[in-house]
Amino acid sequence: MRTWADDLRRLCDALGLVKPVVLGSSFGGHVALAYAGLYPGHPGGIILANTTGGRSDHQRSVEVFRRLGGDGAAAVAERDFADPTEESLADFRRVCHPLNSKPGDAEELRQRRARSIQTTDVNRYYFRNEASRFDPWSVLGMIKSPVLILAGAKTTLSARYRSPRTSLAGFPLTPPALCACPAHVTPSSVTGRISPFLSPDLGRPT
């Protein structure tokens, strides 16, 4: 995780980005938090979307899948969380991923899958051998940049942050943390929430 955080900092420097606003979605939220905490003077802001930030609550996510898709969806999620394989990941994508999307967004989900690269062996190795070595939450107190939390009420990956109160209690951040909770975190649902966050009034470039 520290390597990914450092890679992110180096990438921004190589691109000449000063005080960048970094968005971390899902696992990217783990990286974004680690980067903001390890290099507190570097980012101009952090946006966390559909992410636990490094502390997953699989049982709570399973129960949300059960509420959204029934016992079958819950069983698929539980199996993939317990021991991810190519088969369990395929079932998770087929059954559970659509439950994380707004009805009618099938094309957006298809495009997102086409852009993503996932290697089951790498995922399994990280969560079994590396995840316990560094907790992004351990550096939350070091974060100096503003943070925007986007947690959808019907998004299972951010199930533990379904309201502003639980979000702010879950992330003990030093700077003010804003929280928007649409039913699903999609580009169309959060554009109006992200734009004010990028305002010069918050001390960052647009």
User: Is pLDDT larger for residue 188 or for residue 113?
Assistant: 113
* Number of residues written out for the chain: 206
pLDDT at 158: 46
Tell me: pLDDT of 81 over 80: yes
pLDDT at 162: 39
For 105-164, the pLDDT digits (tens) are 667 667 777 777 777 788 778 877 887 788 888 888 899 998 888 876 555 554 444 333
User: Is pLDDT larger for residue 153 or for residue 204?
Assistant: 153
- The pLDDT-based confidence of 101 (bands split at 50, 70, 90) is low
pLDDT at 40: 93
d(CA 40, CA 169): 21
pLDDT at 194: 82
Taking residues 15-24, report their average pLDDT: 95
Which are the contacts of 101, defined by CB distance < 8 A and separation ≥ 6? Answer: 108, 109, 184, 186
Closest by Cα among 86, 84, 87 to 56:
84
User: Is pLDDT larger for residue 120 or for residue 17?
Assistant: 17
Structure tokens at 26: 């899902």
Q: Which CATH number fits domain 2-55+135-202: 3.40.50.1440, 3.40.50.1820, 3.40.47.10, 3.40.50.300?
A: 3.40.50.1820
Contact, 179 vs 46, CB < 8 A? no
pLDDT at 79: 92
* Domain residue ranges of the chain, discontinuous segments joined by +: 2-55+135-202, 58-129
- The pLDDT-based confidence of 176 (bands split at 50, 70, 90) is low
For 27-78, the pLDDT digits (tens) are 888 899 999 999 999 999 999 887 777 776 778 889 888 988 999 999 999 9
pLDDT at 206: 37
